[in-house]
């Protein structure tokens, strides 16, 4: 079975632009979470979606938004990009929120010039 897939793998943007990152969960998984990992740090929680509804949000500004589609895939959108948004963006899926193990994709490396 395919694991969590993310696209694109790499992306270069300039300050002020907008970006959309995509994630397809493992088949049968209905919960998707997004994390930001800055170089040298552990991942930080951005959003969790379950059954197409936002279930949780980390301490990120409103420039960050996300949604989940009927097929449980998800998009992360970031507006008005800043240099500090440069990071590896990771998507994780699980059967449902809570006590299930989370499975991560390889991430999207976003560089802001």
For binding to another protein (CB under 8 A), which residues are involved?
4, 6, 33, 35, 40-46, 48, 55-58, 90, 92, 97-99, 101-107, 109
In the complex, least distance from residue 90 CB atom to another protein, rounded to whole angstroms: 6
Burial of 97 (0-12, 13-18, 19+ CB in 10 A): middle
Choose between 13 and 109: whose C-beta lies nearer to another protein.
109
Q: Residue 86 in contact with residue 110, Cβ under 8 Å?
A: yes
List, in order, residues 6 or more apart from 92 with CB less than 8 Å away. 4, 32, 33, 34, 35, 102, 103, 104, 105
Pull the structure tokens for residue 71: 């097929």
CB half-sphere exposure, 110, CA atoms < 13 A: 31
In the complex, least distance from residue 98 CB atom to another protein, rounded to whole angstroms: 4
Choose between 58 and 75: whose C-beta lies nearer to another protein.
58
In the complex, least distance from residue 94 CB atom to another protein, rounded to whole angstroms: 10
In the complex, least distance from residue 7 CB atom to another protein, rounded to whole angstroms: 13
Choose between 13 and 97: whose C-beta lies nearer to another protein.
97
Choose between 80 and 88: whose C-beta lies nearer to another protein.
88
């Amino acid at each position: 079975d395919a694991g969590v897939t993310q696209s694109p793998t790499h992306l270069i943007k300039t300050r002020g632009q907008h970006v959309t990152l995509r994630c397809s969960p493992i088949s049968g998984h209905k919960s998707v979470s997004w994390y930001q990992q800055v170089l040298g740090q552990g991942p930080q929680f951005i959003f969790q979606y379950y059954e197409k509804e936002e279930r949780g949000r980390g301490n990120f500004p409103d420039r960050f938004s996300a949604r989940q589609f009927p097929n449980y895939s998800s998009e992360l959108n970031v507006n008005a990009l800043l240099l500090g948004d440069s990071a590896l963006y990771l998507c994780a899926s699980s059967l449902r929120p809570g006590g299930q193990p989370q499975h991560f994709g390889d991430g999207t490396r976003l560089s802001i010039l």
